[in-house]
Structures are given as structure tokens and as C-alpha cells.
């Protein structure tokens, strides 16, 4: 009997490409007049992008020696995010992944991002 080998999405995309997607995504959201102000308070942007890249690598099935501990709700609650903010975030995420990844990989990653957006809607939206 043949066995199917499951390959995590992080292996299909690759760590370097995950980082490239996150770099481009943050370039876009930072420049967006609708939501860019939320990113102005990040003191060490390079460290932030590295941590978020690690976060996604892990959430896409990767293993890290020192995985980041990110309190998604705690970090975002003070920002007083709105539905419009989340819509803009997802708009950029979809566009970035659509442009930079194989369509099947982009769709799979977008589904995970939608799950995070749903959690944000439940836990922290203000309006």
C-alpha cells in the first residue's frame, strides 16, 4: 500500500519566500493611508518583520528552535481596530500572496489569515 506524504505549507513555500511575502506585505500596509498609522509605533521594524515571519512559518507547519510568543489579542487590542482596518489588512494580504505565490499556496495561506482575522473580529474590534 502506498502512503501519501504530507508536506507542510511552509515547506512548499519555503522560509525565504515566506519572509519575502511578509516584507512586501508590511511595505504595503505601512504605506496605506487607511491603516499605515497602526505601524508607525513599531520601534524595531526589522525585528517585527522577523518575528511575524517566524510566526507564519510556524503556523504554516514549520518547527522553530525558539518559536515566537505573540499575544495577538494583547498586541492588537490597544490599536482599537475597526472592521475597515481588518478589511484593508486582508486586502493587502490577499494581493501580496496572490502576486508572489503559486495560486494554491496563496489560497491556503489566505484561509489561515482569514482565521486570524475572524479571531480579531471576535476579540478586539471596536467599530
Identify whether 3 is part of a domain.
no
pLDDT at position 66, please? Answer: 86
The yes-or-no verdict on residue 3 having pLDDT over 60 is: yes
Identify whether 23 is part of a domain.
yes
Identify whether 109 is part of a domain.
yes
Residues 85, 38 contacting (CB under 8 angstroms): yes
Domain count, the chain: 1
- 84: CATH: 1.10.490.10
Residues 73, 89 contacting (CB under 8 angstroms): no
Q: Which domain holds residue 69?
A: 10-124
State how far the alpha carbon of 83 is from the alpha carbons of 72, 107, 111, 118, in Å. Answer: 16, 21, 18, 10
Identify whether 82 is part of a domain.
yes
pLDDT at position 2, please? Answer: 67
Confidence of residue 4 (pLDDT cuts 50, 70, 90): confident
Q: What DSSP line would sit under 89-126, residue for residue?
A: HHHHHHHHHHHHS-HHHHHHHHHHHHHHHHHHHHHH--
Over residues 47-92, the pLDDT tens digits come to: 999 999 999 999 999 999 988 888 888 888 899 999 999 999 999 9
Place of cell 471576535: 122
Task: State the greatest distance between any 2 C-alpha atoms of the chain, in Å, as a whole number.
Answer: 56
Identify whether 5 is part of a domain.
no
What's this model's pTM, rounded to 2 decimal places?
0.91
Identify whether 115 is part of a domain.
yes
Alpha-helix runs per DSSP H in 1-127: 9-13, 15-31, 45-59, 72-76, 83-100, 103-124
Amino acid at each position: 500500500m502506498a502512503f501519501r506524504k504530507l508536506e507542510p505549507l511552509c515547506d512548499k513555500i519555503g522560509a525565504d519566500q515566506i519572509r519575502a511575502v511578509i516584507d512586501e506585505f508590511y511595505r504595503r500596509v505601512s504605506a496605506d493611508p487607511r491603516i499605515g498609522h497602526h505601524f508607525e509605533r513599531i520601534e524595531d521594524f526589522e525585528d517585527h518583520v522577523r518575528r511575524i515571519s517566524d510566526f507564519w512559518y510556524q503556523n504554516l507547519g514549520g518547527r522553530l528552535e525558539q518559536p515566537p510568543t505573540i499575544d495577538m489579542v494583547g498586541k492588537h487590542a490597544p490599536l482599537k481596530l475597526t472592521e475597515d482596518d481588518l478589511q484593508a489588512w486582508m486586502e493587502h494580504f490577499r494581493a501580496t500572496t496572490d502576486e508572489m505565490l503559486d495560486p494554491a499556496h496563496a489560497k491556503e495561506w489566505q484561509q489561515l489569515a482569514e482565521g486570524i482575522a475572524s479571531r480579531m473580529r471576535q476579540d478586539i474590534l471596536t467599530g
